Amino acid sequence: MLKRLCSTVNDFRHLLRARENVVAAWPKSYYRRELIPVRCLNRWMFVVNSPAGVQHVMVGNARNYRKSPGNTQVLRPLVGHGLFVSEGELWTRQRRLSNPATHSSRLQGYSRIITEAGAGMLADWRARGDPHEQDVTEAFTLLTADIICQIMFGYKLGDRVHLLYEAFVEYQASHGRMHLLEFLGLPMWLPRFSQRRGRKAVDKFDGVLAEILRAGRNAGGEMPENFLHLLLSFRDEEGRPMTPGQVRDEMASIFLAGHETTALTLAWAFYLLERHPEAEARLQEEIARVLGGRAPAFEDVPNLPFARAVIDETLRLYPPVHVFTRQALGADEISGHKIPAGSFVTISSWVLHRHELWWEEPEVFRPERFLPDNAPKLNAHAYIPFGAGARVCPGKHLGLLESTLLLAQISQSFRLRVRPGHAVEPLGRMTLRPRGGLPMRIERRT
Ligand code: HEM
């Protein structure tokens, strides 16, 4: 009895640590093991940590796994029943419907929007004096929010972008931590204080979405063929349009999934480049040789393999979506372990991407691993910054294009350095962000 009580207290302590910062709570031994069963109070959780296990859960037997209700519940007030959290027939229909908006044939047009918005941010930086300091997680989030709204909804946010940013920061503060109710076996509908605080943020967010939607409807036949157009022109087999609630949820889903991830990729990339001057010098050499001082364009991306490799390696060490939590619908077996129905399966890309068995010198930042000549050596399911299987990120190519173009465009004109004395700590909550932001000194390159 005493032993059971002690182990429950230990479990609870561990869960509280994970709730504060998931990435700091992973024990060192996990970076060597392939599957770890963990008793979480009255539930089992299996940490799946091998390429074969990831393939099984996300691809081979993905039908047996749903997104964990706890995670879904955290996002529900914001994204409702949108693509990021929906399941079953609704998910299949909406995923198919959204495909044309992220198709590779659209990327060339999107890249013009990306570099124009990038140029706008750089003009603002020039106007602020040289050098100046900014929290780059905020600057990049405002930039990518503006970009995703132009690309997906044909809408320029202007000053409203600050309102969306504030709403999202408030929401993360109230809902960003892991759910304990699920592990305690308590029903997820129990009211919580944080839900009320998050409501205000959702109201702000909904106000801006409603404005965008009004503008889209008013544009009528003039509307560009973008994601919002796909939602508004949808008709089901009986000729019925999508409900206003579902249109709102899909807009919220694509907006949220499509901007903060890219912003964090850029912020972590600049942090890593400062710590690795040899990589920064190589990037500078590539940019100068390929672009010769002009702004980057879509056609330049294949000629910027090192810039792209910096992004890939950043996504390995600092994956913005750092953990995937699924629940087994039926009993299963992974790497010889029995997985009872109802248990949780967790895949941490943070751990998997730093695993001693799957990576050589996993802690070392080495973009060269991702250069085209080395690609055959990579183990596909040991590297999952965009997930895998049917639910793989539909914005993968857009996210990679956007990060690569912006990395080249920004580094071409500015040098970024972390504020002296500021300790950078990765904080694993809803996404992987630097705790307290990333204040950087921004200095023009001559
Ligand atoms: C570097 C940038 C990005 C990263 C690292 C990233 C990462 C991810 C990951 C890991 C998932 C899978 C989550 C899971 O399986 O639980 C995902 C899903 C998703 N992403 Fe991205 N993403 C990025 C950019 C984008 C962009 C630009 C868009 C906009 C089109 C987007 C839209 C989505 C959507 C809608 C989903 C849900 C898909 C579904 O469940 O069917 N993402 N993303």
Phi, psi of 418 (to 5 degrees): -60, 140
Mean pLDDT along residues 208-215: 94
Binding site membership of 387 for ligand 1 (Cβ less than 6 Å): yes
83-96 burial, b if ≥16 CB within 10 A, otherwise e?
bbbbeeeebeebee
The model's pLDDT over 425-446, given as tens digits with 9 standing for 90+, comes to 999 988 999 999 999 999 999 8
Atom 9, ligand 1: residue with shortest CA distance:
386
pLDDT of residue 81: 94
Considering only residues 206 and 188, tell me which one the structure prediction assigns the higher pLDDT.
206
Model pLDDT for residues 220-240, shown as the tens digit of each residue = 776 678 999 999 999 998 999
Q: Picking from 33-42, 49-58, 243-252, 308-317, which range would have the lowest pLDDT averaged per residue? A: 33-42
Question: Ligand 1 center to residue 437 CA distance, Å?
Answer: 22
Tell me, using a 6 A CB cutoff, whether residue 393 lines ligand 1: yes
- 324 in ligand 1 pocket by Cβ < 6 Å? yes
Instruction: List, for residues 64-92, the tens digit of each pLDDT value.
Output: 999 998 888 888 989 999 999 999 999 99
Ligand 1: centre distance to CA 393 (Å): 4
Is the beta carbon of 82 within 6 A of some atom in ligand 1? no
Q: Is the CB of 431 under 6 A from ligand 1?
A: no
In short, whether 258's Cβ falls inside 6 Å of ligand 1 is yes
Tokens of 118: 């990038």
411 lines ligand 1 (CB under 6 A): no
Predicted model pTM? 0.94
Q: What is the pLDDT of residue 195?
A: 61
348 Cβ inside 6 Å of ligand 1: no
pLDDT tens for each residue of 256-305? 999 999 999 999 999 999 999 999 999 999 999 999 999 999 999 999 99
Q: What is the pLDDT of residue 259?
A: 96
> CA torsion 309→315→316→319, rounded to 10°?
180
* DSSP-derived secondary structure for 40-92: ETTEEEEEE-SHHHHHIIIIITGGGEEE-HHHHHHHHHHHTT-TTT--HHHHH
Closest Cα to atom 41, ligand 1: which residue? 391
The predicted model gives 131-148 an average pLDDT of 97
Q: Does residue 362's CB lie within 6 angstroms of at least one atom of ligand 1?
A: no
**Binning pLDDT at 50, 70 and 90, where does residue 324 land?**
very high
Least confident of 191-195, 236-240, 390-394: 191-195
pLDDT of amino acid 70: 82
Report the chain's mean pLDDT, rounded to a whole number: 91
Question: What is the whole-number distance in angstroms between the Cα of residue 277 and the centre of ligand 1?
Answer: 31
- pLDDT > 70 fraction of the chain, expressed in percent and rounded: 91
What are the structural domains of the chain?
Answer: 53-340+359-444 (1.10.630.10)
Which atom of ligand 1 approaches the CA of 349 most closely? 10
Give the model's pLDDT for residue 144.
98
Using CA positions, which residue lies closest to atom 10 of ligand 1? 386
More confident residue, 153 or 39: 153
Say what the pLDDT of residue 174 is. 76
Is the pLDDT confidence value at 186 over 60? no
Q: What percent of the chain clears pLDDT 90, i.e. is strictly above it? A: 78
| Ligand 1 atom closest to 91 (CA) | 41
Summarize the confidence of residues 30-40 as an average pLDDT: 91
Residue 389 CB less than 6 A away from ligand 1: no
Judge whether residue 199 has pLDDT over 70: yes
CA–CA distance, 36 with 216 (Å, rounded to integer): 49
| Ligand 1 centroid distance, CA of 262 (Å) | 10
pLDDT the model gives residue 64: 97
Ligand 1 and 321: CB distance under 6 A: yes
Could you read off the pLDDT of 90-116 as tens digits, one per residue?
A: 999 999 999 999 999 999 999 999 999
Pick from 81, 226, 261 the residue to mutate for probing ligand 1's pocket: most ligand atoms within 8 Å of its CB: 261
User: What pLDDT is attached to residue 308?
Assistant: 98
286 C-alpha to ligand 1 centroid (Å)? 29
Q: What's the token pair of residue 56?
A: 């099984």
81 lines ligand 1 (CB under 6 A): no
Ligand 1 atom with the smallest distance to the CA of 389 is 15
Does the pLDDT value for residue 5 go beyond 70?
no
How far, in Å, from the CA of 83 to the mean position of ligand 1?
10
Which tokens is 158 given?
């202007």
Contact 202, 77 (CB under 8 A): yes
Ligand 1 atom closest to residue 392's alpha carbon, by position in its atom list: 12
95 Cα–ligand 1 center, Å: 12
Per residue in 337-357, pLDDT (tens digit) is: 999 999 999 999 999 999 999
Contacts of 139 (CB under 8 A, 6+ apart): 121
With CA atoms as reference, report the closest residue to 331 among 342, 316, 347.
342
